[in-house]
Chain A
Amino acid sequence: MNRYSRHIILPEIGQEGQDRLSKSKVLVVGAGGLGCPVLQYLAAGGIGKIGIIDFDTVSESNLQRQILFGASTLGINKAIAAKAKLEDLNNTILIKAYPEKLTHKNALAIFQDYDIIVDGTDNFSTRYLVNDASIITNKPLVYAGIYKFEGQVSVFNYKKGPSYRCLFPKQPENGSIPNCSEIGVLGVLPGIIGTLQANEVIKLILGIGEVLSGKVLYYNSLNHQINFIKVNRSEKEIKKVMDTKTFFETLDEKINCEMPIKVISIQDAINKKNVQWIDVRDQNINPEINHSEVLQIPLNDLEQNLNKIDLSKEHVFFCQAGIKSKKAASILQSHQIHTGSSLKNGADEVLQYFNNKNYDR
């Protein structure tokens, strides 16, 4: 095959390595400054299946660095525009566009279909989501972030290596560190850093060289200073993420899942001494529980009613099946209130408990 002959004549790759590339499936999250060069080299190099997820559309200010786009794609969804451009570059591979936002709800199912995930996102909440979904689906994550003239690159979650949370356990507030659209970025910088990411992807697949795992590369384009910082895996951080596995899809974007939600049985709840019971089901749902010790706040109204939360007590949230209540406890957590737990089963058990306890309707 002529297209890949410069790969194939390398003894380090050969036909076998090229076949391995063409059997690989790589998902690129974000088709922006980083995503574009990554995608370009992965498509050119003959990665068999490439997924592109991005909800955003191409705007003129993107063209200074997002090299897959041009005047003809202004206003078009980036995943779709990138797919069209890449299909021209290489029509022998499969390219799938996801013109949507990556969320807790869709992440695991999408990640499942790929071997390697590439992080080309531009905000912290999506970065942590990409990291967590990679941990749960056990996929290596080729990460990079950029700031003005500097970049950082690493491979996370590779052969029991560290994750992004082992490097930065605490998720910064979105907006606490400006992104490219807010503060500007040297156009060529994501080109350099994204190309380093593409290089890591190819090396991972071919099994050649030294994978950038267990360390972060910091690059400064102004003076070409490169620093490698060693990072160790934190089992504690990994476990926190794994503990969200069963209800990951229900975690909303804005909920920060730094700590796993405590899920307790009715017996655990009864054993607590100083408890505020909170029913987060919608109104008029059976069984109705009207009891002086039970506060009713439908989940959707919780954020507006945080003043009703008695901070001197522990809080047991319950709903019909233990899903809304988990969300409620994580909303509380996102407001730095860590005394909420979610009842495993739900309202029927609570009703039974209060009935037995002289239900005073």
Chain B
Amino acid sequence: MILSIKYFGLLAEVTGRSEEKIEFSGKSISDLKTILFQKYEVLKNKDFQIAQDNELTANETMVTATEIALLPPFAGG
């Protein structure tokens, strides 16, 4: 399926985009991470959480929604 991936904060900078569509044939969030790490090696050592359909999700969760977001923590105040 076609996933729409949103990158927030620092992640938008290191990937060079705030949003993109990718073709995904894997199953879990963990599979998706593997694909994203291949595409953007720099993501490997970044801290972030993944949300699907605007809900935080765990690695072992199946990808069932097409809206994915990569959320980094923000240090600044």
Which residues of A come within 8 Å of B, CB atoms? 30, 32-35, 119-124, 127, 144-148, 150-152, 167-168, 170, 172, 174, 176-180, 185, 190, 216, 218, 227-232
Q: Which of A35, A122, A229 contacts B76 (CB 8 A)?
A: A122
Q: Tell me the count of chain B residues lying within 8 A, CB to CB, of chain A.
A: 19
Q: Are A146 and B47 in contact (CB under 8 A)?
A: no
Q: Are A152 and B74 in contact (CB under 8 A)?
A: yes
Selecting from B23-31, B36-44, B51-59, the interface stretch reads B51-59
Q: Are B76 and A147 in contact (CB under 8 A)?
A: yes
Q: Are B56 and A231 in contact (CB under 8 A)?
A: yes
Q: Are A229 and B54 in contact (CB under 8 A)?
A: yes
Q: Which of A150, A167, A229 contacts B69 (CB 8 A)?
A: A229
Q: Which residues of A contact B51 (CB under 8 A)?
A: 229-230
Chain B residue at minimal CB-CB distance from A168:
B73
Known interface pairs A147-B9, A167-B49, A168-B49; A178-B75 also in contact (CB < 8 Å):
yes
Minimum distance in angstroms from B10 CB to a CB of chain A: 6
A32 to B73, CA, bound (A): 18
The 10 A-B pairs at the shortest CB distance, nearest first, are namely A145-B74, A230-B55, A122-B77, A147-B74, A172-B47, A180-B76, A146-B76, A147-B9, A179-B75, A179-B76
Minimum distance in angstroms from A229 CB to a CB of chain B: 5
Q: Which residues of B contact A185 (CB under 8 A)?
A: 76
Minimum distance in angstroms from A41 CB to a CB of chain B: 16
Q: Which residues of A contact B47 (CB under 8 A)?
A: 168, 170, 172, 176-177
The verdict on B71 contacting chain A, using a C-beta distance below 8 Å, is: yes
Q: Are B73 and A124 in contact (CB under 8 A)?
A: yes
Q: Are B77 and A177 in contact (CB under 8 A)?
A: no
Chosen A-B contacts, 17 in total, with CB atoms closer than 8 Å, are: A33-B77, A120-B77, A145-B76, A145-B77, A146-B77, A147-B76, A150-B74, A167-B73, A170-B47, A172-B47, A177-B73, A216-B71, A227-B6, A229-B56, A229-B71, A230-B56, A231-B56
